[in-house]
Amino acid sequence: MRSRASGLAILLFLVAITLSTLTNLQVLAQGTPLVVYGHVYMPDGSPASGASVTVSCEEDVKSTSTDSGGYYQVTLTVTKSQSIKVVAKKGNLQASKTVNAGPSTGKVQVDLTLREATTPGAEGEEAKKPEFKFLELSASKQTVVIGENLIVYGKVKNEGNAAAHEVWVRVYSDERLIASQELGTIKPGETKSFSIEIEANKLGTGEKDLDVRISCKEGASASQMLVSISVIRPSVSFLNIMIPEEVSLGESFKIRGEVRNKGVVKITDVEITVLLEGNVLKRASLGSLGPGEKKEFTLEVVVPPDISISLGSHDLVLVLTGNPATRIEFRQEIIIRASLRVAVEERLGEAERLLNDAKTLLAKAEGIVSVSEEQSLLNKAESDYDEALTLYREGRYDESGKLIQETIQTLESIIASVKSKLLDEAVSRLNSIKSEITDEDLLALISEIEKMIEEASKEKDTTKAVNMLVRTFDLMNALTKISGAGPSLGYEELVQENEKLKEEVRRANIKIIIGTGGGLVTGLIVGLVAGTQIKKGKALN
């Protein structure tokens, strides 16, 4: 019984081995995938898009076409190691290459360069031809900054049995030709070195793969990738910039702020330039900025008084430059004023004129209304004017300008106050005179005086308005004496007052027509207006 069980076990083991072997044989018979891929190039080394590609071996054959980058890929099924032949054609151009591969290979890259189909040996490798192989390939740096240059170094060997003429090494990135170098002729077995300088600006930023391709007149070619070349841009910024909102021609002002290197590379030859409408106002060097470094700066700037720009609003521009390839701008609107010195000179002149006007007007108004308060303010304004003049002579224009502005405001308020008081007094006095006069001729003159008072109240030039009001008081004083509204006068005195009134009317430029109603006063008034001789009781033409 035990012997029968043991025999059954051995039988089952043998069956399992047989089934496993059969399964492996079946898989082997089905074959293993082999990926064949690569690029097809034109004779000048550019991608051959749309080329037909046939890949064949003893057990399988596949056909495809290249994409816009000249790339192709097919998958064969193989069960053993064998020769794989790749044939590419485009128009009258073609190329072929044979490589060995098998189930364990997995993937195989085969690149081809097309050439004229009539060239001997185009269909096979038996004919004499050059064949390239890269022995060395490297880049001068793995990280390059925009503005810098990158150098690709390498060695290439002609392992073929014919010389290669007009040999070119070309570097591509994202299927764009970036740089190239001619190596001339490479004889069979000869090795040549090359170094190609590439501007980082042409690569753009980010991680870049460089495809280095070599080709010759005879059509032989090779390519190899340089991967993970990192291209970065310098990163710097302005911080906390302080610029005055208004500046004066010829006067200095300060610009304060900070600059910071936010990148990972050192920036050298850092310089700040201050521009106003294309005019360079200042250049200042900040030296170098290491990664993460921050520097403060203060610039003293002057807008030349003879600069060819208009007064008013303009953009002030700060430009920071440095190496490698660093440039940023900061803009702020500022208002350009006239030279502070000139402006203060003009304000001092205005203040002097107002000071003289105020003195004159107060002297005229003193006998008419109370101006003691205004006189006190005038004394202070005169003292402030003298102090502002001293500050100006010392070159302290800003202080002088502020003080003289306050002085002008004080003088303007003095004159306005005198106008207000004279206006109120003129209306009150004229109403009083008018209430005691019934003569139509004199009432006509009073009406003209009323018009003068009204015009003075509307006059925007305060000094002119005050002078007009003072004139009305001269007229009212003469009118009071000659009309009988004031003290009694003898004939000779009346004639004298008549002449005074006549002069006041002339100075006031009053033109009225008064009737000849008889009576002493009427005759006198008619005489002064018509310019006739005066006799008792009437005027004669």
* Residues 397 and 453 grouped into a single domain: no
Of 116, 147, 171, which one is at a domain's C-terminal end?
Answer: 116
* Residues 401 and 441 grouped into a single domain: no
Bridge partners of 537?
Answer: none
Closest-CA residue to 96 (of 277, 276, 219, 249): 219
* Residues 317 and 274 grouped into a single domain: yes
How would you write the pLDDT of the chain (541 residues) with one tens digit per residue? 445 555 555 555 555 555 555 444 444 446 889 999 999 998 888 899 999 999 988 778 888 999 998 999 999 888 888 889 899 999 888 888 888 888 888 889 999 989 876 444 444 445 688 999 999 898 988 888 887 888 999 999 999 999 999 999 999 888 889 899 999 999 999 999 999 998 888 887 788 888 899 999 888 888 787 767 888 888 899 999 999 999 988 888 999 999 999 988 889 999 999 999 999 999 999 999 999 999 999 999 999 988 888 889 999 999 999 988 889 999 999 999 887 788 888 899 999 999 999 998 898 888 888 999 999 999 999 999 999 999 999 988 889 999 999 999 999 999 999 889 988 988 888 888 888 777 776 777 788 888 888 888 888 888 888 888 888 887 787 777 666 544 444 445 545 555 655 565 555 555 443 333 333 344 444 333 333 233 333 332 2
In which residue are the tokens 């870049």 written? Answer: 208
The answer to whether residue 23 sits within a structural domain is: no
Strands 191-199 and 82-90 turn out to be unpaired
* Residues 186 and 255 grouped into a single domain: no
Buried b (16+ CB within 10 A) or exposed e, 3-18: eeeeeeeeeeeeeeee
The domain total for the chain is 5
**Can you give the pTM of this predicted structure?**
0.43
Of 192, 217, 232, which one is at a domain's C-terminal end?
Answer: 232
Distance, in Å, from the CA atom of 287 to the CA atom of 268, rounded to the nearest integer, reads 6
The answer to whether residue 35 sits within a structural domain is: yes
Going from the C-alpha of 449 to that of each of 194, 242, 473, 504, the distances in angstroms are 106, 60, 9, 11
Closest-CA residue to 385 (of 419, 435, 351): 351
pLDDT at residue 540 in the model: 25
Give the number of other CB atoms < 10 A from CB of residue 164: 28
The answer to whether residue 406 sits within a structural domain is: yes
Distance, in Å, from the CA atom of 315 to the CA atom of 304, rounded to the nearest integer, reads 16
Going from the C-alpha of 237 to that of each of 200, 260, 407, the distances in angstroms are 22, 5, 46
* Residues 104 and 163 grouped into a single domain: no
Give the number of other CB atoms < 10 A from CB of residue 468: 21
Distance, in Å, from the CA atom of 392 to the CA atom of 281, rounded to the nearest integer, reads 26
Q: ∠ CA 417-421-422 to the nearest 5 degrees?
A: 115
Identify the domain containing residue 146 by its residue range.
132-232
Q: ∠ CA 307-313-319 to the nearest 5 degrees?
A: 70
Q: Which two tokens stand for residue 397?
A: 């224009």
The answer to whether residue 20 sits within a structural domain is: no
Q: What is the CATH number of the domain that holds 49?
A: 2.60.130.10
Distance, in Å, from the CA atom of 219 to the CA atom of 44, rounded to the nearest integer, reads 9
Strand ranges of the sheet holding 221-232, from the earlier edge strand across to the other edge: 143-145, 221-232, 206-215, 164-173, 176-186
Residues 6+ apart with CB under 8 A from 33: 75, 76, 77
Around 301, how many Cα atoms within 13 Å sit in the side-chain half-sphere? 27
pLDDT at residue 272 in the model: 96
